[in-house]
Amino acid sequence: MTQPEPATTPYAGKQTEVGSVFVSNYPPFSAWQREGVEAAREALEQPPIADRDLGLYLHIPFCRKRCKFCYFRVYTDKNSDEISNYIDALAKEVELVADHPAVAGRLPRFVYFGGGTPSFIGVDHLKTLAARLQQAIPWSAAEEIAFECEPGTLTRSKLEAIREIGVTRLSLGIENFDDRILSENGRAHISTEIYRCLPWIEDLDFDQLNIDLIAGMVGETWETWQENVRKILEVEPDSVTIYQMELPFNTRYSKNILDGAFDQPLADWHTKRVWHDYAFQELAKAGYQVSSAYTMVKDRDSCQFVYRDSVWHGCDLLGTGVASFSHVNGVHFQNVDGWGEYLGTIAKDRLPTGRAYRTSERERLIREFILQLKLGEIDSGYFRRQYGIEVTEEFADPLIRLESRGMLSANDTGVQLTRKGLLRVDTLLPEFYDSEHRGARYT
Ligand SMILES: C[S@@+](CC[C@H](N)C(=O)[O-])C[C@H]1O[C@@H](n2cnc3c(N)ncnc32)[C@H](O)[C@@H]1O
Ligand code: SF4
């Protein structure tokens, strides 16, 4: 293992630039338009495509504090009544959408409580929400119910309630074990809260525990990162997800950098990739296997991530809650992202769709291809069956370019990213975009 170069200042080469993005969809969100909303209505009025999986995503947009690196739609100032109103609106949105032909009678393959911080809400709210959701879209047949948690929001009784509503996959946002780094980055939790909740989680025997870490938080050094990896190996979760710190425009750090009010060392991309690689190597030594560019799991057979794999293979996804993203019958749509507009629209018994985009078959092909590339490998047979297309011929030019840069290898059976490619996969994906979407603003 080579020692990484020291973290550079934000003004040196290959810096962590403001405006970087984690690619989660295609075409980029900037192509989705308010004028397209009718397409979303039409998509919901059509029956589903035979054998297409359905998933339900619920956005819980509350956090104790806003982390300085966070780019999600979250609120830290809502009181208990406002949270009640939101939970009520969320349940009502699911009830409203459940009656549409694209959804009625379908059983979701997975349910995902994301945020924000789903574990922020209290036991009563959680149970009420789950009961109403189950009435509208029963999830008894779902293979996975995933739930994101922030360590400091968990109590034993809350975890019991989370288990009781059927959660199978708990995802814990640890991010870092070092209190100084947690505090600098504006995290609400401290390390003792991590160690307080871990035994409860183990006792309650969830099917899967995933832990999120971020490589390159402000204040991280080579020594603290090695210590983080050592501690994660001690915890032995079923799955470890490592994100390299991104700085999209809407984070607090990004604003400080653009205002010239940020003067701390910030790990550059090379350093973050070396740290990410080091963690993957140490996890591999402990028996973990690569399950995507970000995630390693103890056992690839038993440790599935149904939400990720279904979305990346083009399932229908009902995204509910403020600013959530959906994909139904080939149409992308996103809910309005203002608190008042979201609640107000649902109060009028209307779905709160804010913008939409009808994808072409080619755009769906590119979308699934780039998302599956994040798994580290592409199976040509899948695209042959779904689209009748040889992807290695269809994308021959970018594949040859990336192969010559040592990012991947391709043959008739598919594409395999090298470790070099895997560690920077998000930067490779625009190579596969059609020209009208290349260089477009992401959001
Ligand atoms: C919605 S949060 C998870 C639940 C909870 N809100 C928490 O943070 O503990 C999803 C994950 O996104 C990751 N994340 C957030 N902002 C990020 C950024 N700027 N760069 C990389 N990863 C980020 C973090 O690892 C975080 O755990
Ligand atoms: S990273 Fe998680 S806890 Fe922090 S602000 Fe974002 S959603 Fe909330």
Instruction: Please state the domain count of the chain.
Output: 2
> In the sheet where 289-290 sits, what is the strand order?
289-290, 295-297, 239-244, 208-215, 169-175, 144-149, 110-115, 54-60, 316-320, 325-328, 331-335, 353-358
Residue 351 domain-assigned (yes or no): no
* Domain boundary pick from 273, 292, 310: 310
Same domain, 248 and 369: no
Q: What is the mean pLDDT of the chain?
A: 94
Asked if residue 116 has its Cβ within 6 Å of ligand 2, the reply is yes
Asked if residue 426 has its Cβ within 6 Å of ligand 1, the reply is no
Query: Which protein residue has the closest C-alpha to ligand 2 atom 7?
Result: 116
CA–centroid distance, 373 to ligand 1, in Å, is 21
Place 442 in a pLDDT band, splitting at 50, 70 and 90.
low
Q: Please write the tens of the pLDDT for every residue from 294-309.
A: 999 999 999 999 999 9
- Residue 63 CA: nearest ligand 1 atom is 6
Q: Is 0.85 surpassed by the pTM of this model?
A: yes
- Residue 187 CA: nearest ligand 2 atom is 4
Residue 345 domain-assigned (yes or no): no
373: domain CATH number is 1.10.10.920
Segments forming the whole domain that contains residue 413: 360-443
284: domain CATH number is 3.80.30.20
Residue 217 domain-assigned (yes or no): yes
pLDDT at 10 over 50: no
Same domain, 275 and 365: no
* Residue 134 phi, psi (nearest 5): -60, -35
* Domain boundary pick from 268, 285, 310: 310
Question: What pLDDT score was predicted for residue 438?
Answer: 86
Query: Which protein residue has the closest C-alpha to ligand 2 atom 2?
Result: 116
- Please classify residue 223 by burial: count the beta carbons closer than 10 Å to its beta carbon, then call 0-12 exposed, 13-18 middle and 19+ buried: exposed
Same domain, 101 and 175: yes
CA–centroid distance, 242 to ligand 2, in Å, is 15
Residue 354 domain-assigned (yes or no): no
Distance CA 22, CA 377 (A): 18
Residue 2 domain-assigned (yes or no): no
Residue 213 domain-assigned (yes or no): yes
Asked if residue 243 has its Cβ within 6 Å of ligand 1, the reply is yes
Same domain, 147 and 84: yes
- Could you tell me what percent of the chain has a pLDDT over 90? 90
Same domain, 296 and 384: no
Asked if residue 214 has its Cβ within 6 Å of ligand 1, the reply is yes
